[in-house]
Structure 1
Amino acid sequence: MSAPTVGLDADTRALADSVRGLAARVAPLAATRESLDDYGRGESGRPFAALVDAGLHRIHLPERFGGDGAGLTEAAVVVEQLAHALVPGPLAHSITASAAVAACPVSPAADALLASFAAGATGVLLTDHRFEVRFDDRGAVVTGVSEAFTGVPGAHHVLVTASDGDRDHLVPLSPATEGVRIEAIDGTDLTVGTGIVHADEVRVPIRDLVVADRGAVELVRSTLAAAQAAGVAQWCLSATVDYIDTRKQFGRAVGSFQAVAHKAAMLLVDTELLRTAAGAGAGAADESAEQQRLAALSAGHAVAALAAEIPMEATLLHGAIGFTWEYDLHLYWRKAIAIAADLGPTDGWARRLGEAARRAERSHRLAGPDDESALRASLAGPLDAARAALTAGDHDRVRRILADAGVVAPHYPPPFGLAATPRQQDAIAQELSARGIAAPDLVIGEWILPTIIDYGSEAQRDRFLPPSLLGRLVWCQLFSEPEAGSDLASLRTTATKADGGWVLRGQKVWTSNAHLADWGACLARSDASAAKHEGISYFLVDLRSPGVRIRPLRQATGRAEFNEVFLDEVFVPDDCLVGAPGQGWTLATATLGYERTAMGRSMGHGSAAALRAAVEDGSVPAAEPVIAALGRLAGRELLLAGLGMRTALGDATGADMRAGASVRKVYGAIAQRDGSLDTLAVVGRHANVAAAGYAIDHLGLPAVLTGGGTIEIQLNVIARRLLRLPGK
């Protein structure tokens, strides 16, 4: 299996495997440890030379400089794998610096730097520095002292950012230039030099100034930092899983203890978040400046929030051995601290992201405006007709047109949908949006109907799919019971065979929208003698049937969105049994998989939109803590949306995305919980006003945090099924 990586297609996965294998050969960790003092002083060492000989330093550079003409994604994959192997020396810094120059407009100064980097020169990119840069008709004059940055000692090119008022520039400083002094210091990261740059009236000629696209430069910096942090995180995750899978305590593998398994599962979630941030940043390289800024700030915020926490948690899961000098974890922890430190304070990223989120929203697109032109053309007629019907107020006709065109659920197979790929689905969504048509929502049918498609009979598909797509059948899910919530296999509702069908007896609870639904998908035990997960069958129940009684449950919010459903001698004909008797657990697992995918797509509670609106209308002041909170909310939502994009792209390119649904469900719940708390923390007394909705929104969190399985249940799924940790 290919190594987990920022890249998703076959080529980038192969690149990751190649870099990882090469790094293991030229920079084994044992050899790196023997020369830490040398690397800490800024020496490049043999690994750097070997990797430069292999061309890794220029894979992302234009072909005219001897590079491979690859992009930011490939650069991210390389630095990710270098960090995973803890390759010592300045290669990652040089790739970042040269990628920043490559992202700037073509110029003789940029070309000269790129040629130097392609020949093997080392470099470092400093932003948020403390230099004063003034410009005159001869060039720039740099004065000041930087903060401590990794990669400074030994760098041939120190690139600092500056503005002359009209344009941004990358100003290259050479340590050989008069007035430049590099002060090497003992750094946190032992695998690369750390230093401070002193500049005393250093003149840089106009011919050496690189006109910079500051947004593109920031995107490069944040993206590659996130990729490196992801590489560190993946090593920590793998090392931790290996350790707790074999380490025994109280006669059991440590990983069999639920608390330990949950912490390990969260390591996987956080690692995937960093990969998502890096992948989204790389994917934004060709987008607008506004979109690049949001992606860059999201990636930087993710690094600041997660990079150091992951190895810390991994160390705690290792126990005392993880805290010893001889064990390698502290070297990765040091690397993670340094990656985040180079980017600057965490609060700064949250505040800047909050300011950006006030002005713009991230657009996540799989399809460009010119992609899927044949599909777009084929849908133009029906969608124009739907637009005309919408204008006339004929909403039934709109739904009929969309259903006939296969765009209500375009990913369904024909004749119900178009078997659309993720990219095609995005193109369809764009076409609907362009005409002001809201995409139809199948609500709970979103995950029941695919189960009928995959496991139902042809007659069931023909009976239930068309009216559901037309919005004439509304569905609910009759799974949970008073004593069988997360432990669904303990359900007590029974199904007894009768002439021509089955008789259902029991009670369901927490059933969303049952009071509005026409039909329900119901799990019932059809064989009491079978094992716990066996003997369960999957029925489709007409909620108008005799013996069905629905009682709404009023929630803490005051609303009644959940229901109890009593099944008292309810007859269900044989043609409403989906699959075979006893196959219900398999079907339920499929339905819950669709549910978790759908529930992880977007956020509702604690969303940035509500706080943004409150700031813009003045009801909540635009104070710095409020803007920082908005940044944290937006950062979580951007990662959540990015997870959905990553899963869709991975599925389309054949990557292993088994973690996708559970990771999105876990992080979606965490993001909504923390977002709601962040909102309450800054709106103050506005939470006392019921009409403002803040308290009601917060009180409604349990519906989100428990629907489709609690965070803890999803962490169990990740730990046991994805990380393969042992059970009890």
Structure 2
Amino acid sequence: MAAFAANVAPISETRAHLADHATGNRPEHWDALLRQGLHCVHLPEDCGGGGAGILELAVVAEQLGKALLPGPFLPTVLTSAVVEAGYAGQDLDALGRELLTAWCAGATGALAGGGDFTAQPSGDGWVVDGCSRPVLGLPGAELVVAEARDPDGRPVWFRLLPVGGVSTMDGVDLTRPVGRLELRGHRVAPEHVLPSPAPERVDLIVNALLAAEASGIMSWCLDTAVSYVKTRVQFGKPVGSFQAVQHKAAMMLVRAELAVGAAWDAARADTDAPGQQRLAAAQAALTAVAPAVDAALECITLLGGIGFTWEHDAHLYWRRAISIASAIGPVERWETRLGDAALAAERDFSLSTEDELPELRARVGAVLDEVREIPDDEDGGSGWAPARGGHRRARLAEAGLVAPHYPAPYGLDAGPVEQAVIGQEFARRGLVQPSMVVGDWVLPTLLKHGTPGQRERFVEDSLRGRIVWCQLFSEPGAGSDLASLTTRARRVPGGWSISGQKVWTSMAHEADWGACLARTDPEAPKHKGLSYFLVDMTASGVEVRPLRQATGRTEFNEVFLDDVFVPDECLVGEPGQGWRLAVTTLANERLHMGAMKLRYGAPDRIRQLLADETYLGSHDEALRVLGRNTAREMALSALNLRGALARMSDVDIGAGVSVLKVYHAIAEREGSREALRMLGPAGCVADSDAGHHLGLPAILLGGGTIEIQLNVIAQRVLGLPR
């Protein structure tokens, strides 16, 4: 699609014919588009279409949007897709077949939806009156479909025969016509009445395709801005080396990835249940269509004065973004709709269907049924620490279900789909999958780089909950910049002596062992002089001092290492390989299958406040808070699911992990702010939700701050100069 658009509709040609595009004349590339069948990829084959669906059509819309393809393409496919939706579950009648066949043959179309017209019964037909809001693609459209409301408020959809009343308007988007339709006493014969599509399906189709186009616009804006700031020199160096510019560009990438995820999720929801469609449609409006306006404006500000000139293409993309965002209406409406939908349903982000891998389900289910009958005798840890031991845990470890993605004999070598199935079977029985917390990161490093003796000594006992781990990485002078750490390990007979200080070490006061980075070669470049050790937390010279947090709890610690002896068998890999091993540790987290739940400002908690009516402010504002927080959670879940699917297909997910980390922290922070505002005076009480929210900094600081992650995205993903 990208190649097609660049070939048939380069931006120079689009600029040369702006006057024609605004009046609705067919663009020169229309015949080439018809030959490719792009206008009807989603329509039935027996009408001349491609027989695909909205998801495939969204791919086309995204790439043609990135190329700013002018003309009636998007209004036409929106209209034909909505008309076909009215025939869901029933055969086409004569009118439906006529319209869909005409669109497959190349007719242009426009959709005057939204119920701007009134319909009064007249014999077997209707008399329609009213004036539409501005409609994209209306001038020049050959097949117009409109929606009216009967006296009882029910929708009446009809095909509009060629008639006057279409007025062309000066559009913000110079590449696409816009007009208004006025009908006075217009008679609609019964044979021109169309079956009414489900309203949630109409919203989904329109928002999914507009979101796809918006994601294409945001992609162009990102590419254009990044390309410019890499080469534009100010104060003797590229402006892309300035941190403020890097952060702005990195956030453009984050928002662009979120938009792609929202558009994809809406498009794939086309065959889902109505409740799922309502959620996905509103999410697409909030996370893709509306933010495209800001993305285009950010592009212009990064370009500087040149981006504000008529000759630069940036304003054309900005105009398109404003136009489609205006077409869907105010974001407040979609926040309310999403909040209302979230009261009744949650979006399904499952990786597997309920009937996939029946043999695995049966095998896992039998073990879990057995586990449910075993007394829960685990020794629960405090704070973030995992539970220890227990007969249930032992049985799960024996069956490979503590970490099913591990290779045998420790796990089941489960891929993403297998992990999803196993997770569903746990959830079905009300069981929580065990977590080793820090051990979930350390053990993959041992499995990949450890010796047979290390694996035998540590892996099985960790899986059974006999060993709890901590991570001795961060130091007072080396937080996010781990390569600057100063803890030293010097050679002694039989092993190493480690001295130094670690800080912000989660669970060190409960851990049995710690994975420790220490400098073994002070003369080597800072990334190359590190080694990876396993430290017995009960060894002589280890002192743990708990740090009391703002919450009043002590989950972080300072750890002082004073000539701590570590035998050679507790060095992982070779001396100097510590950085590479640390990267493995930090990157190896268990795949999150399905929805990613927010902890602060969680939609579940907002729903509870609404149900209990224990919130400050109006019901409508509370619904909008629920809508905004649900949008954030859905955005994370869509990114996570797309990443899992990409890994299944061996596709490079690029910035996916970094984007997920950045937006997770942003979503937690913004969600927390929204939830606290709802509490009112109840937030003065320590054991209220406000006390819970005091733990937010742990999310914002853990794994690198938002600012550090933005630096990573800007420099390592976007390639901006340091």
Same-fold call, TM > 0.5?
yes
Indicate whether 1:82 and 2:64 are aligned. Answer: yes
Aligned match of 1:465: 459
Give 1:392 shift.
10
Q: Distance in 2 between matches of 1:340 and 1:233?
A: 13
Give 1:162 shift.
5.4
Q: Distance in 2 between matches of 1:595 and 1:545?
A: 28
Change (3 A) 1:124 1:439: farther
Aligned match of 1:204: 188
Aligned match of 1:412: 406
Change (3 A) 1:596 1:488: farther
CA contact (8 A) 2:547 2:557 kept: yes
Aligned match of 1:456: 450
CA contact (8 A) 2:461 2:467 kept: yes
Aligned match of 2:490: 496
Indicate whether 1:339 and 2:324 are aligned. Answer: yes
Indicate whether 1:439 and 2:433 are aligned. Answer: yes
Q: Distance in 1 between matches of 2:260 and 2:122?
A: 43
Unpaired segments ≥5 residues, structure 2 = 380-388
CA contact (8 A) 1:495 1:502 kept: yes
CA contact (8 A) 2:24 2:176 kept: yes
Q: Distance in 2 between matches of 1:642 and 1:615?
A: 25
Indicate whether 1:184 and 2:180 are aligned. Answer: no
SS of alignment partner, residue 368 of structure 1:
coil
Change (3 A) 1:235 1:390: farther
For residues 447-477 of structure 1, the C-alpha deviation after alignment (integer angstroms, 9 at most, x for no partner) is: 2222222222222222222122222222111
Aligned match of 1:287: 272
Q: Distance in 2 between matches of 1:450 and 1:95?
A: 48
Aligned match of 1:611: 606
Q: Distance in 2 between matches of 1:170 and 1:464?
A: 69
TM-score (ref. length: structure 1): 0.93
For residues 568-615 of structure 1, the C-alpha deviation after alignment (integer angstroms, 9 at most, x for no partner) is: 221111111111111111122222223598799542122222222111
Indicate whether 1:111 and 2:76 are aligned. Answer: no
Q: Distance in 2 between matches of 1:78 and 1:582?
A: 49
Q: Distance in 2 between matches of 1:698 and 1:181?
A: 57
CA contact (8 A) 1:602 1:668 kept: no
Indicate whether 1:193 and 2:187 are aligned. Answer: no
Residues 14-413 of structure 1: pairs in structure 2 closer than 5 A: 19-104=1-86, 105=88, 106=90, 107-108=92-93, 109-134=95-120, 138-161=124-147, 171-174=157-160, 176-177=162-163, 181-207=165-191, 208-389=193-374, 396-413=390-407
Give 1:53 shift.
2.0
Give 1:504 shift.
1.2
Give 1:310 shift.
0.4
Q: Distance in 2 between matches of 1:196 and 1:248?
A: 47
Q: Distance in 2 between matches of 1:459 and 1:314?
A: 55
Aligned match of 1:702: 697
Aligned match of 1:518: 512
SS of alignment partner, residue 560 of structure 2:
strand
Give 1:554 shift.
1.1
Aligned match of 2:472: 478
Q: Distance in 2 between matches of 1:166 and 1:652?
A: 50
| Pairing partner for 1:716 from 688, 711, 715 | 711
CA contact (8 A) 1:501 1:572 kept: yes
Aligned match of 1:676: 672
CA contact (8 A) 2:416 2:591 kept: no
Q: Distance in 2 between matches of 1:78 and 1:564?
A: 54
CA contact (8 A) 1:523 1:539 kept: yes
CA contact (8 A) 1:157 1:172 kept: no
SS of alignment partner, residue 130 of structure 1:
strand
Give 1:647 shift.
0.5
Paired amino acid for 2:100: L
Aligned match of 1:689: 685
CA contact (8 A) 2:116 2:148 kept: no
Q: Distance in 2 between matches of 1:579 and 1:723?
A: 32
Give 1:201 shift.
3.2
Give 1:135 shift.
5.3
SS of alignment partner, residue 367 of structure 1:
coil
Give 1:509 shift.
0.8
Q: Distance in 1 between matches of 2:151 and 2:560?
A: 71
Change (3 A) 1:155 1:588: same
Aligned match of 2:422: 428
Q: Distance in 1 between matches of 2:165 and 2:540?
A: 87
CA contact (8 A) 2:489 2:518 kept: yes
Q: Distance in 2 between matches of 1:711 and 1:573?
A: 38
CA contact (8 A) 2:119 2:156 kept: no
Q: Distance in 1 between matches of 2:339 and 2:207?
A: 16
CA contact (8 A) 2:512 2:536 kept: yes
Q: Distance in 2 between matches of 1:115 and 1:379?
A: 50
Aligned match of 1:627: 623
Q: Distance in 2 between matches of 1:459 and 1:136?
A: 87
Aligned match of 2:383: none
Q: Distance in 2 between matches of 1:140 and 1:263?
A: 54
CA contact (8 A) 1:625 1:682 kept: no
Give me the CA root mean square deviation: 2.3
Q: Distance in 2 between matches of 1:294 and 1:282?
A: 12
Q: Distance in 1 between matches of 2:589 and 2:475?
A: 18
Paired amino acid for 1:350: E
Change (3 A) 1:229 1:90: same
Give 1:228 shift.
0.4
Q: Distance in 1 between matches of 2:122 and 2:287?
A: 38
Q: Distance in 2 between matches of 1:163 and 1:520?
A: 68
Q: Distance in 2 between matches of 1:301 and 1:637?
A: 12
Give 1:665 shift.
0.3
Change (3 A) 1:372 1:111: farther
Change (3 A) 1:135 1:603: farther
Q: Distance in 1 between matches of 2:557 and 2:466?
A: 21
Paired amino acid for 1:387: R
* 654-663 or 375-384, larger mean C-alpha shift: 375-384
SS of alignment partner, residue 690 of structure 1:
coil
Give 1:167 shift.
10
Give 1:712 shift.
1.1
Give 1:116 shift.
2.1
Q: Distance in 2 between matches of 1:684 and 1:31?
A: 57
Give 1:336 shift.
0.8
Change (3 A) 1:534 1:601: farther
* 386-395 or 517-526, larger mean C-alpha shift: 386-395
For residues 54-95 of structure 1, the C-alpha deviation after alignment (integer angstroms, 9 at most, x for no partner) is: 110111112112222112111000000110111100111212
Give 1:634 shift.
0.8
Q: Distance in 2 between matches of 1:136 and 1:565?
A: 84
Paired amino acid for 1:44: R
Unpaired segments ≥5 residues, structure 1 = 1-18
TM-score (ref. length: structure 2): 0.93
Give 1:538 shift.
1.1
Q: Percent identity?
A: 48
Q: Distance in 1 between matches of 2:643 and 2:499?
A: 40
Change (3 A) 1:380 1:687: closer
* 20-29 or 279-288, larger mean C-alpha shift: 279-288
